[in-house]
Chain A
Amino acid sequence: EIVLTQTPLFSPVTLGRPASISCRSNQSLVHSDGNTYLSWLHQRPGQPPRLLIYNISKRFSGVPDRFSGSGAGTHFTLKISRVEGEDVGIYYCTQATLFPFTFGPGTKVHIK
């Protein structure tokens, strides 16, 4: 089973400043078809997770361009260029390269 680790687990951020979350996998997430099925999700309390980024760096429809994803192989990063109040919540990386799919433990983002 692929294990995803995230750092930091808690991220106090300042409005208008950048934020970054790292996700590492214990094995490569490159699928045999050449794609890397690493996504980032955002969850607010009482709501289902919402897709932000998929295939490492593709922004899902309607996601603000202040969100970006990067990385390759086993190391991935989600960046928020300028944090806004609505960005608080928990961010999860998740992989669908190898079954069983897995989630990272989550990074809780809150405003300082």
Chain B
Amino acid sequence: EVQLVQSGAEVKKPGESLTISCAASGYNFAKYWIGWVRQLPGKGPEWMGIIFPGDSDTGYSPSFKGQVTISADKSISTTYLQWGTLTASDTATYYCARPSDEDAFDLWGQGTLVTVSS
């Protein structure tokens, strides 16, 4: 089955670091871009950035550049979203999503809820 499975919910304190993951299965991981999306509570989704696991080519939306790091490990078909220093404003649900051959994001992870609170 073609799917993206994300890591579980996280509760962190401000100032802590965090890495969440998105594990792909059922398709050639190296050949499809994967994007990350943030959805603040009660708000619409926002594209954060995208990575091509084949060569780790990565692009970030201006709002997120320098704030997070997107990476991938081809050996285990997994992409990562990493924060060095969390703040309360990072509290959100994060989704990974993969576009189809026609560049439509048809495959989504189930989402990872990140809560940052002191």
| A→B interface (CB under 8 Å) | 1, 35, 37, 39, 41, 43, 48-51, 54-55, 58, 60, 90, 92, 94, 96, 99-106
Contact = CB atoms under 8 A, between A and B. Distances in A.
Interface residues of B, number: 24
A102 B61 CA distance: 9
A41 B47 CA distance: 14
Given A99-B50, A103-B46, A50 B103 contact: no
A94 B108 CA distance: 14
A99 B49 CA distance: 9
B44 interface: yes
Interface string B101-118: 011111011110000000
A90 B39 CA distance: 13
Contact of A37 (B44, B50, B62, B103): B103
Interface of B: 35, 44-47, 49-50, 59-62, 95, 97, 99-100, 102-106, 108-111
Contacts of B61: 1, 100-101
Residue of B49, B99, B102, B103 ringed by the most chain A CB atoms within 10 A: B103
20 contacts: A39-B104, A39-B105, A48-B108, A50-B108, A51-B104, A54-B102, A54-B106, A55-B102, A58-B102, A58-B104, A92-B45, A94-B45, A96-B103, A96-B104, A96-B105, A99-B59, A100-B60, A100-B62, A101-B50, A103-B46
Nearest to B106: A51
A68 to B, nearest CB: 16
A103 B104 contact: no
